[in-house]
Amino acid sequence: MTTRAVVRQAVADDAEAVAAVRQVVAPYKVMSPAATRHMITVQSPGERFLPLVAESNGEVVGWASAGLNVWTSEPGQAHLSIYVHPDYRKQGIGSELAERLHQHLTEVGAIRVRTFVHPDGLEFARNLGYDGTRQMHFSGVELSSLPEQPETPEGIELVAFDAVDPHAAYTADAIASLDEPSDSPLDSVDYGRWLEEIWNGPALDKSLSVAAMAGDEMAAFTAVETHGDRMWSGMTGTIPGYRGRGLAKLVKSVALRRAAAAGITSAYTSNDDENGPMLAINNWLGYRRVQTEMGLLRTL
């Protein structure tokens, strides 16, 4: 069926409408309009990022984006995502968005594209040439009842990110990311790009993100993003020399308690199917699965 929507490149002023569509399609992915605006407008030139929206009668009903993965040393790796409001599916909108993005990725030299889809979008993705590689589990927890906070080991100080040197945070993030389950290694994280896109971006709530410091070294951390009364736990990691001491469980427990005290009522996170240790921590914290998405790949 021919699309009844107009597809165009997204601009900063689309941020609120895009955030609304994302929340309808994936309510467990917390992203504020400010963070959405940042995503649309701030990227590395090497990413060749293309954001698109689909409009019907002047209303944004679809969002899609694609670009090259600039966090890996493997050339030609790319990412793609498509969100179409449930009321506007089966009208060709997703197909047009995918066609535009695949054409763009081919032009900028992409070799392999990764995307994530809901179970009900699996047939659509496979018809576009995508095949399965992994599962990503999304979980949520209400912050009204949390387990007792673990004790802080001797020599460790718990601090909020707004009291941390960004170089220490970058170093810990870059080291911990090397062990993230992924189809491409996250082994090429540039400090300047990380500073602009992550540390100085509006998504990161430095007052609620927690670091376990061993002197000037960040031993473990959890990054928190917020929107209204909801929060998203992004990257949680421990650098190798401090593993086995329960620090990831500790910082995440502390972050959830501080978020509850700040008025946050619900928290969400995601875990790759292969990340058993983090799944165990989230189960202990009371997270319960709300959705599973399939990670798929296509070669261009």
pLDDT digits (tens, 9 = 90+) for 236-268: 999 999 999 999 999 999 999 999 999 999 999
Average pLDDT over residues 261-290: 94
Indicate the residue type of 107.
E
- What pLDDT sits at residue 182? 85
- Comparing C-alpha atoms, which of 80, 87, 98 is closest to residue 60? 87
Whether pLDDT at 102 is above 70: yes
79 contacts 113 by C-beta, under 8 angstroms: yes
Could you list the beta-strand ranges (E) of 31-130: 50-56, 59-68, 77-84, 112-117
Least-confidence region, from 41-45, 96-100, 212-216, 265-269: 41-45
- The number of beta carbons lying within 10 Å of the beta carbon of residue 233 is 27
69 contacts 109 by C-beta, under 8 angstroms: no
What token pair was written down for 118?
Answer: 């809901």
- Comparing C-alpha atoms, which of 134, 72, 129 is closest to residue 299? 129
- What pLDDT sits at residue 162? 96
The pTM of this model reads: 0.93
How many alpha carbons lie under 13 Å from residue 86 in its C-beta half-sphere?
7
Least-confidence region, from 51-60, 223-232, 270-279: 270-279
pLDDT digits (tens, 9 = 90+) for 139-195: 999 999 999 999 999 999 999 999 999 999 999 999 999 988 888 999 999 999 999
CA angle, 271 then 277 then 283, to 5° = 70
Percentage of the residues of the chain whose pLDDT score is greater than 90: 93
268 contacts 260 by C-beta, under 8 angstroms: no
